[in-house]
Structure 1
Amino acid sequence: MLKDYLPWIIAGLVVLALVIGGLVLTRVVPEVAATRRRRPRPPRDHFRTGEDDVPAPLKRAGVVINPTKLADLPTARERITAACLANGWAEPVFYETTVEDPGHGQAAQAVRDGVDIVCTLGGDGTVRNVAGALVGTETALGILPAGTGNLLARNLDLPVALEAAVGVALTGRNRRIDVGELVIGAAPMDDAPDESGDPETHYFLVMSGVGMDAQIMAGTNENLKAKVGWPAYMLSGVKHLVSPEFRISVKVDDELEFRRRARMVVIGNCGRLLGGLVLMPNARVDDGQLDTVIASPRGVVGWVPVATRVATRQRKGHPTLDHKACKEIRVRTDRPVPVQIDGDVIGEASEVSATVRPGCLTVRVSQ
């Protein structure tokens, strides 16, 4: 008789087992899921490798110093170093100019050393030589004014105080500016003997010129300049008001060549001078062109209207002061005359040709 009920007994046991199993699962599974949900998330650093823990290297500046412009070089180095550290940069690398190399080689070495910016501590001549190594590169130029004129810094509205200038160089914004390229030396007018030698190529950031302005630079007393600053140039300018005239032949872009007598020709990348004077009111460092002034006054009295137009920033209005805006200009003279580039007299020549190189230099300026 038990055999007759055995299948039903087995079936009942199976059903009972399934019911009990279902009850257990309904309690255990939610608890397991809750336990999984409550498991704490590993900290973020748990997934990091050792390489991520290495801090990024600090930026470093290279500073090209003209030691002749500083009375206390060690103190200047200390102030620059302190300013770099205060702005979160590493200690700077210093390079000193020499008579043989006034800045170009030092700037090139700084770039090879991997600095993040190349700064100059000196005058416009130091800036020009350092910039020559940076033209066409992405390395920015920082300007720490320490000269007499500091004309590029003034035209870019940069601070003159050392700590403030360092701050701008390290934290300011990049600005692309034009550079003038000057070729010196070629055949003079009227088949006169060529005494200028082989052609030389130079860069200028502020102004270059032939004639009286170069004579003023050459005639400025260095001792007086060190004592009184830029007014020393004015004294030299008074002495050269009656400098000799010379005949010039000028070719501007694709215009016809013209001739006249002149006392000076100034080719500028920017127009602001010392003492708040503006020689070229429309000149801009990033307008893609050069501005030229041709001055041809007669005697001392002839300088009065010229000076008036410079003081009032008029661009036109008098036949003895011509303004030309161009991308390229060539000036030939009837004899060799002095030539200056950003305040440095580099000799005499009877022909100069200037061409603008738009936006080829990066300079760090104020925000």
Structure 2
Amino acid sequence: MSGEAWTWVGVAVAVLFAVVGVYLVLSAREPGRHVAAQRPSRDSFRGVDDAPPPRKRVAVVVNPTKFDDLDAVRATLARVCEAQDWAPPELHETTVHDVGFGQTREALASGVDLVCALGGDGTVRAVAQEMVGSGVPLGLLPGGTGNLLARNLEMPVDDLERAMVVALTGRNRHVDAAWLTLDPEDLELEEGAGEGSSAGAQRHAFFVMAGMGLDAAIMDSTSEQLKSRIGWGAYVPAGLRHMLTERFKVTLTVDGGPPATQRARMVVIGNCGKITGGIDLLPDAEPDDGMLDVIVLAPRGVAAWASVAARVITRSDRTNANLARHKCQTATVQVDEPQRVQVDGDIIGEASRLSVEVQPRVLVVRTENGRPAGA
């Protein structure tokens, strides 16, 4: 083929490609053809008269005896909820016969997104116990003398408004629950102990500490009126009265190991470490490590008590005859004569034997610096 013929072939091919290109461009401009579908806006699915999605709901289980002006408390909580675009808070008041167990179950059954405890450590314990395993977050609002769980989780304990903001907007932290079971034999329950609880009168959850002996006796002999007037210092006179009372024989078994028997003044089992007054009694305790920390205190006189105090202040983890430390998941405590028993500051009665076990990371708590599940 001559050069001129090849030139005409090239021209023909170029014209053919040009015609095809023009056709494709014109086709793309025709309605409904070759046009990429655009995602409609969310509002296009909603009718003009459709209501906006419902706001989140919070229930507050409150101990009314802790406040002189409950209406002012309600107004503060409502103001925070409105600012955070939550529905007005639903308040459930505790009673003498039910310190928060039934109220919490009622709140959970209503399908709220958050349950807050507003009262003393007893209110917090009751609410938290019923929320174990629910998956619903617990908010901690300051209303008592100790506020020990909030202090151990480094949350606001002197500002209700700020604490409510944390409850509504904070991060979730999964913490352990510890369970104490009293032996039904040789057991004298405190009047009303466990009343309203779904776990019964012999099984009690705690989230800070449980104790047998001296610490329970101190709490039992400290009046609510004195605590409301002078705070944690109210425990000091009771402590001085009881610190040199007769020791008792205790047999401790941890994680099914060999039992150890000694004379002691008290046994404390902790899920957290800090107690009233900011004292770090159990410096190695973490609320989400799946372990319990146990101490047995056995000082005989004033000098021995001074040694124990020094060890607590310096956060010493050494074990000796005056202060023995253990770490475990389960423990049993047996004493030669019935002793007072407390869980998170609530006196539940006298017993000669108890057992404890930890249930790891089963309570969701709303905190400022929470750790997400699995962290």
Structure 1-normalised TM-score?
0.85
- Structure 1 residue 238: deviation in Å? 1.4
- Structure 1 residue 73: deviation in Å? 1.0
- Structure 1 residue 240: deviation in Å? 1.2
- Structure 1 residue 195: deviation in Å? 4.3
- The equivalent of 1:163 in structure 2 is 161
| Partner of residue 341 from structure 1, selected from 311, 325, 343 | 343
- For residues 83 and 180 of structure 2, the distance between their equivalents in structure 1, rounded to whole angstroms, comes to 40
- For residues 68 and 238 of structure 2, the distance between their equivalents in structure 1, rounded to whole angstroms, comes to 24
Cα distance, 1:90–1:304 mapped onto 2, change above 3 Å: same
Q: Matched residues, percent identical? A: 47
Cα distance, 1:186–1:167 mapped onto 2, change above 3 Å: same
Is 1:211 equivalent to 2:209 in the alignment? no
Q: Which runs of 4+ in 1 moved over 3 A?
A: 30-37, 41-49, 51-54, 195-199
| Partner of residue 259 from structure 1, selected from 258, 261, 283 | 261
Aligned residues of 1:185 and 1:199 also touching (Cα < 8 A): no
- Structure 1 residue 196: deviation in Å? 4.0
- The equivalent of 2:170 in structure 1 is 172
Deviation per CA, 1:223-281: give whole Å up to 9, x if none.
21111111111222112111221101111113101111000000000011122210001
- The equivalent of 2:182 in structure 1 is 184
- The equivalent of 2:100 in structure 1 is 103
Deviation per CA, 1:265-322: give whole Å up to 9, x if none.
0000001112221000100000101000100000222211111111111111532100
Aligned residues: 333
| Partner of residue 84 from structure 1, selected from 75, 81, 84 | 81
- Structure 1 residue 31: deviation in Å? 9.5
- The equivalent of 1:144 in structure 2 is 141
Deviation per CA, 1:45-102: give whole Å up to 9, x if none.
6953528953111001000000111121111111011111111111010000011110
* Equivalent position SS for 1:315: coil
Aligned residues of 2:138 and 2:366 also touching (Cα < 8 A): yes
Higher alpha-carbon deviation: 255-264 or 46-55: 46-55
Aligned residues of 2:172 and 2:364 also touching (Cα < 8 A): yes
- The equivalent of 2:250 in structure 1 is 248
Letter in 2 for 1:305: S
- The equivalent of 1:286 in structure 2 is 288
Cα distance, 1:249–1:54 mapped onto 2, change above 3 Å: same
Higher alpha-carbon deviation: 46-55 or 148-157: 46-55
- Structure 1 residue 32: deviation in Å? 10
- For residues 68 and 279 of structure 1, the distance between their equivalents in structure 2, rounded to whole angstroms, comes to 30
Structure 2-normalised TM-score?
0.83
| Partner of residue 48 from structure 1, selected from 27, 41, 45 | 45
- The equivalent of 2:114 in structure 1 is 117
Cα distance, 1:349–1:43 mapped onto 2, change above 3 Å: closer
Aligned residues of 2:247 and 2:263 also touching (Cα < 8 A): yes
* Equivalent position SS for 1:301: helix
